[in-house]
Amino acid sequence: MLVALVAVGAAVAVGKLTVPGTATPRRTGGEAHHAHSPGSPAAAASATPGEATLAACQAEVRAGGRLASAAASSAEQYRTHTRAQVDVDAGRISAKTAARRWADSKKFGPRDVHEFASADRAYTAVAGTCERLQGSSGTQQACKAHARALGQAARTARPVNNGWAHHLEMMKSKPHDEAAKTFAEYMATWRGMVKDAGPQLSAYDTAAKDLAAAPRCQGA
């Protein structure tokens, strides 16, 4: 009878809460290990709301990091492509050198556009999570700061990648008769894009530098 009373009156800790009057079931071997392994329902139940939100923020930062990597490649190739036009127009390089730079950067284009689009979809799905962090710990504040820098890098990278994607599509139907009106129209559109690329790449470069200097998000 005494044993039964102790079992009934026992208090069992569940996560951060203490639930009176519940006996603790014993687990042995792999069953006990599985019950408290990361990602299991028991582990998720024991996480505090703050911990769960930080984990989601870290996931946002990881997704943003993949986007930042894709953006860097896209920006590099678009910079090479547009700068070759600027340099050949200014007489700093020959038409042959410009053509080689265009060909070298163009071959990376489809990969750049695909990887950026894929990474941007994944990042957009989780963006903003870090802003919901309520804690004031160093880790949380660092993750929020890093997430903000990633957000700015993403915003400035999109016009650059869009310009690169647009020009890649243009080149698929580029007129070859340089005396034709369509060729003149093509070049006018392209030179307008080259002009726009200057400030677009400048804004991206500033955001990329800020991202490199942002606090690290531990655990991301």
In angstroms, the CA 209 to CA 162 distance is 21
What average pLDDT does the segment 29-37 reach? Answer: 40
Q: Band the pLDDT of 50: cuts 50, 70, 90.
A: low
Question: pLDDT of 123-170, one tens digit each?
Answer: 999 999 999 998 889 999 999 999 999 999 999 999 999 999 999 999
Q: Are 34 and 40 in contact (CB under 8 A)?
A: yes
Query: Rounded to whole angstroms, how far apart are CA atoms 74 and 197?
Result: 12
Q: What percent of the chain is predicted at pLDDT more than 70?
A: 76
Q: Which residue has the higher pLDDT, 99 or 4?
A: 99
Provide the pLDDT confidence category of residue 14 given band limits of 50, 70 and 90: very low
What is the band of 44 on the pLDDT scale with cuts at 50, 70, 90?
Answer: very low
The answer on pLDDT for 41 being more than 80 is no
End-to-end CA distance of the chain: 53
For 18, the 3-state DSSP assignment is: strand
- Contact between 53 and 132 under an 8 Å Cβ cutoff? The reply is yes
What pLDDT is recorded for position 1?
A: 38
Distance CA 96, CA 89 (A): 13
pLDDT for 135 equals: 86
Instruction: Round to whole Å and give the CA distance between 44 and 156.
Output: 36
User: Quick check: 19 pLDDT over 90?
Assistant: no
Is residue 43's pLDDT more than 50? no
Q: What is the pLDDT of residue 16?
A: 36
CB 95 within 8 A of CB 88: yes
State the helix-helix crossing angle for 181-213 and 49-89, rounded to 10 degrees. 140
